[in-house]
Amino acid sequence: MAFLELETLSKAFGTHRAVDGLTLGVEKGEFVSLLGPSGCGKTTTLQMIAGFVEPSGGAIRLEGRDLLAVKPAKRGLGIVFQSYALFPHMTVAENVSFGLEMQRVAAAECTKRVGDTLELVGLGAFAGRYPRQLSGGQQQRVALARALVIRPQILLLDEPLSNLDAKLREEMQIELRQIQRTVGTTTILVTHDQGEAMALSDRIVVMNNGRAEQIGPPHEAYERPATPFVASFLGKTNLVNGKAVRPERISFAAVGLAGTVRTRIFQGNHWLYQVDTADGLLTVIRQNTGEEMPEEGATVHLSWLAP
């Protein structure tokens, strides 16, 4: 029996099935991502776990107990919202201590835990500030601290990094992973960013049209996609004779499938090619090793190991 179990969980809005029979077991301490395009049902799933949306069918169990019978305020889950949803009229420390006040934690312990958690997210010096006086990344950390300080059984993250710029997002990914490892909280992340999901997760759930297309470790889902949707959603892919071939697995060789370079784009650490072949237009990614590379219009031969 898994720590958190979703069993044929469904939600219909009118005739639209937002979530359609999702079954998933999450182990204690695991980091699982719900990944998919917008409208795939990932956010609805998260809201059903949080208790803000009532399922049309199925069950949610936490340590074997029926979670749906528990009011949202009593579920004791930590949630980080996409908009952070910080309380603007409270200081950082007041925001973080709010959940502890609700649990009637003694003042001395409350102060200590708030301080510790703010240190954990690197905001020890900002306790007296108001959310408006913080940058987006700092607000994000406050939201994380506010969710973690109540020592939730499960941490739910709803697109927590999507409002940050690319560089900050990468830094926060690394930090989020470290924090999650440190505290060991079972975490469910909802995201549409496949890079983010793969970087952070122990397992990913690739969702489409309310269903799980594949559940597995990121590496496995990337290397052995169960469906064409998973293959195309998890990064670039070529379909050759009905088989998915990742562009970085194709190399230029002396012999192999003949083609003509249509476009060549330099992207710093790698080159992105589009090559016209008898099997159609193929995307090829080659590492930038500083060597001379085929130019546009050049005739090349492509080879790859069968997946």
Partner 1 sequence: MKATPYLLSLPALILFAAIVIVPLGMTVALSFHDWGQYKGIEPVFILKNWREVFTDSYYGEMFWRTFRIALAVTVLTALFGAPEAYILNRMKSPWRGFFLLVILGPLLISVVARTLGWALLFGGQGGLVNKALMGAGLIDAPLPFMFTETGMIVALTHVMMPYMVLAVWAALQRLDPQIENAAVALGAGPVTVLRRIVLPQALPGILSGGIIVFTLAASAFATPAIIGGRRLKVASTLAYDEFLNTLNWPLGAVVAVLLLVALVAIVFGANRLIERRYAQVFG
Does position 74 interact with partner 1 (CB under 8 A)? The reply is yes
Stretch binding partner 1 (CB under 8 A), from 81-89, 211-219, 226-234, 242-250 = 81-89
From the CB of 224, what's the least distance to partner 1, in Å?
Answer: 37
Could you tell me the two tokens for 33?
Answer: 């991502």
Could you tell me the two tokens for 286?
Answer: 């080659």
Of 97 and 194, the one with the shorter C-beta distance to partner 1 is 97
From the CB of 134, what's the least distance to partner 1, in Å?
Answer: 12
Stretch binding partner 1 (CB under 8 A), from 2-10, 25-33, 47-55, 264-272 = 47-55
Size of interface with partner 1, in residues (CB under 8 A): 28
Of 82 and 283, the one with the shorter C-beta distance to partner 1 is 82
Site pattern 130..169 for partner 1 (x: CB under 8 A): x-xx------------x---x-------------------
From the CB of 76, what's the least distance to partner 1, in Å?
Answer: 7
Stretch binding partner 1 (CB under 8 A), from 84-92, 196-204, 217-225, 228-236 = 84-92
Does position 52 interact with partner 1 (CB under 8 A)? The reply is yes
* Cβ pair 66, 18 in contact under 8 A: no
Cβ neighbour number for residue 274 with a 10 Å cutoff: 17
From the CB of 45, what's the least distance to partner 1, in Å?
Answer: 15
Residues in touch with partner 1 (CB under 8 A)? 50-52, 72-79, 81-83, 85-89, 98-99, 102-103, 130, 132-133, 146, 150
